[in-house]
Structure 1
C-alpha cells in the first residue's frame, strides 16, 4: 500500500502552536496561512521557541478577512487586523535581514509583553517576495515545506530508548509535534524520505531539497511550553546527522502548477537518489 498524508499542519504565527487542517492550498512559498506572522525583538530579530519556549502555548488562526486571532490560556483572545503594506520595518531571521509590515497598535505589543515579560513587536509578511532567498518562502526558517514520516519517528524513539532508557521510560515517546512539520506521511520504511528527490502528494509535485537540520526546539514540550531536557536532540546528533547538524525530516519546494493537498492523499516517489550534503 502506498504511503499517505496522515497529518497536515500550519503555523499561522512562527513558533506558535501548530494548527491541524484537513486540506491546504499549496503556494510557491508554502501552505496558505503558514508562518505569515511572527514576533520580533526590539532589534528586529525574530523571537522563537529557541529563546522562549513559552511561545508554544500561544494558538493562532487567520480569519477570512486576513485578521489574526491569537489565544493564550492566561489571557482574553486578541484580534489583530492585517497591517497596511506601507508600514515596513527592518526585521531579520537568524540575522538574515529584510523588511515587513509591522502592527502599529501599541495594545498588541502590550498584550504579548504582559504574557512574555519582554518587549516584542508583531509583523506580517504580506508579500513573501520581500524576503530574498534562493527559494521564496514565508517566515519559515529555510524552505517552504517540511515533511516527516511516522516510521522515522518510530525508529528515532527506538534509538532514544536504546541510548537513554531511563529518559525514555520517564518521558515516553517523542511526539511528532516536537518537529513542527507541515506534512506527515505514514511511510512504512524508516528514513526512506532521505532517499527521495521528487515526490507527488495528491495533485502537487515537490522537489526534495535536503534533510532538515534540527535545533533545541525539538526539546520543547509543545503543550506546556517548557524545555524537557536533551532528547531527542542528543540522540539525533549521535545517530542521524546532516553534515554537522542533527537531522530529522526533509525540506520541500513545491513545483508548478500548484494545487491542494489533503489528509489521505497518496504519496508517490517520482525520483529517488541521495540528497546533497552541506558544503
Structure 2
C-alpha cells in the first residue's frame, strides 16, 4: 500500500488543493483549515452546507504569512495572517466556542461580496486550537477548523467500489480527505487502529460520518438530483442513523509526508 493522494484545504469549506508533499504539524497537514468564514453577527461558521457557491472559492496557503483568495469575477486578494494585536472575535463551530483573530475589513468585504451576506474571515493558530473530543483522543490533541479531527483518510478502493455501485465515477475531492491510500481492499481502513506512513505513525480513531456536502459537485457546486452518493451509501454504510465513509486520524508526532510513501498497518 502507498500514499496516492495528499490534500490541503486552507479555508474551511473552500476548494482543496492537491499536494505532492507537505509537513504535518500539531494540527494536521500544515496550513490545513486554519482559516474560516463566519457570520458577521453571530460568529457561527459558514460552509457549503448553507452556501453551495463556496465550492467556487479558491484559497491558497502562502506559508506562515498570507492566504490568497480567488473566485470567478473577483480580483485575487492576499490576506495577511493576523498579528498579535489583531482583534479577537468570538466564533462557534459545532459545539465549540472560541476566541480567534479577525483578518480585517478588506477580507470581510471581499467575502461578503462573493457570498452575498455579511461575514468575517478568522484564523486560528495552535495555541488557540480546539481540543479533539476526548472520547476518541488524548488530552492535548488539537484540531483547527476541521469539523472534529485533524486528518481524514480514504482508501482509493473504497471510492472505486462506491463509484461502481452508483454507476458513475466520483471525484475524491467530493469527500475532502487529507490522505488517500491505494493498494488496500475496499473499506479496509475501517478495521485499522494504527498505521505508519513513511516514518510517521497515526492513530485511526473514528469513522467519518457524511453529510449533504457530499452531494455537491466540487467543480460546479451543483447538487446531485439523485442525492448521490448519500443515497447509495445509506444502503450499506449506515449505522445508528449516520452514514460513514473514510476514517479520522490523529498523527503521533510531526514530520514530512509525500506521495508514494509506503503505508503499513501496525494494528
Same fold flag (TM > 0.5): yes
- The alignment status of 1:187 with 2:183, answered yes or no, reads yes
Equivalences, count: 257
- The alignment status of 1:253 with 2:250, answered yes or no, reads yes
Cross-structure match for 1:199: 195
> Structure 2 vs 1, CA of residues 242 and 129 (structure 1 numbering), >3 Å: closer, same or farther?
farther
Unaligned runs of 5+ in 2: 135-140
- Measured in 2, the distance between the counterparts of 1:188 and 1:130 equals 33
- Measured in 2, the distance between the counterparts of 1:35 and 1:85 equals 20
Cross-structure match for 1:94: 94
Contact 1:151/1:190 (8 A) holds in 2? yes
- Measured in 2, the distance between the counterparts of 1:131 and 1:188 equals 32
Cross-structure match for 1:165: none
Pick one of 200, 222, 227 that aligns with 2:223: 227
Alignment TM-score, normalising by the size of structure 1: 0.88
Contact 1:29/1:128 (8 A) holds in 2? no
Cross-structure match for 2:20: 22
Cross-structure match for 1:11: 9
Pick one of 132, 135, 143 that aligns with 1:137: 143
Cross-structure match for 2:38: 40
C-alpha displacement of 1:248: 0.5
- Measured in 2, the distance between the counterparts of 1:65 and 1:31 equals 13
Unaligned runs of 5+ in 1: 162-171, 272-279
C-alpha displacement of 1:65: 4.9
> Structure 2 vs 1, CA of residues 73 and 270 (structure 1 numbering), >3 Å: closer, same or farther?
same
- Partner of 2:261: helix, strand, or coil? coil
Name the stretch that deviates more: 131-140 or 141-150.
Answer: 131-140
Contact 1:212/1:242 (8 A) holds in 2? no
